[in-house]
Amino acid sequence: MERNVKMQRQEGAKVCLMSPEQLQKKFPWINTEGVALASYGLENEGWFDPWCLLQGLRRKLQSMGVLFCQGEVTRFISSSSHMETASGEQLTLKRIHEVHVKMDHSQEFQPVECAIVVNAAGAWSGQIAELAGVGNGPPGTMQGTKLPVEPRKRYVYLWHCPQGPGLEAPLVADPSGAYFRREGLGNNYVGSCSPTEEEEPDPGNLEVDYDFFQEKVWPRLAQRVPAFETLKVRSAWAGYYDYNTFDQNGVVGPHPLVVNMYFATGFSGHGLQQAPAVGRAVAEMVLEGHFQTINLSPFLFSRFYFGEKAQEHCIL
């Protein structure tokens, strides 16, 4: 934690370290048992509604002339060339020239020529990469290395607790993995925790497991905030992480073998926080020297023009 805070301060974040005594004094509702150190953001902290932010971005783009088209990517058409590495390994390089997109409410596909493909398909980006041939080679080779991103289902619960933390409560992330924050002004809170590998739920549906809250989340919350012993769950929902099984960090940049496919995926729950910076970084990478790029997901195909050059680029 000390190393993390040092790095954060070097990047301009106003963050302080607090001893258990300082933590208890500032937030009397926290049980500091087992806490050795805490970090606390002093400014520019908060939370936002992800759906509202997304819709705001979409409306702004539409006001600038962007056309959103719903469809499903079904196939990539590519050409191949071959090379040999310094160690003698034979590699096949692919370049995508055309994408087939099955439009909603239609049995036909739309062939779309492209110079650059941006895979920002979130939890389904691994499927898109596989369609493009990523990871289809022999195991243990570069050509057999898959994009390590898959859907992971996560629950979020909303509960009410009249004696819970007040308006000064920040978003709290506990060492146990549980987290929570206030939701509005009526002593409502949202939070959860991530399951272990053995507890991973079936991602084939978005049904909520309320027993998971009772058995795994609630005990951790009540241990850290004793007032939560009397909470009452009011609602819950489930959604998908684009989970990077390698290290839970984003995969950003070009693929070494599918040379005109760029990735912006695998953020494992941090995507919306990083999206503006990643979107700009990927746009800067792909726009240099190219006139057309395409943003793909199994359910969303979007492109738009800007400036005087009729260029197209990705959005997240």
- Tokens representing residue 10 in the block: 């070097």
32: how many CB neighbours lie within 10 A of its CB? 16
Q: Are 295 and 287 in contact (CB under 8 A)?
A: no
Q: Which H helix or E strand runs over 180?
A: strand 179-182
> Is the pLDDT assigned to residue 68 strictly greater than 50?
yes
pLDDT tens figures, 179-219: 999 999 999 999 999 999 999 999 999 999 999 999 999 99
Residue 69's pLDDT is what?
79
Q: Are 250 and 270 in contact (CB under 8 A)?
A: yes
Distance CA 306, CA 181 (A): 39
Distance CA 255, CA 134 (A): 9
Residue 227's pLDDT is what?
97
Distance CA 281, CA 274 (A): 11
Distance CA 254, CA 124 (A): 18
Mean pLDDT across 8-22: 96
- Tokens representing residue 53 in the block: 């932010």
Q: Are 146 and 132 in contact (CB under 8 A)?
A: no
Distance CA 37, CA 15 (A): 13
pTM of the model: 0.81
Between 81 and 299, residue with greater pLDDT: 81
> Is the pLDDT assigned to residue 298 strictly greater than 60?
no
Which residues have C-beta within 8 Å of that of residue 245, sequence separation ≥ 6?
148, 149, 150
Buried b (16+ CB within 10 A) or exposed e, 116-146: bbbbbbbbbbbbbbebbbbbebeeeeebeee
- Tokens representing residue 75 in the block: 């196939």
Distance CA 288, CA 258 (A): 18
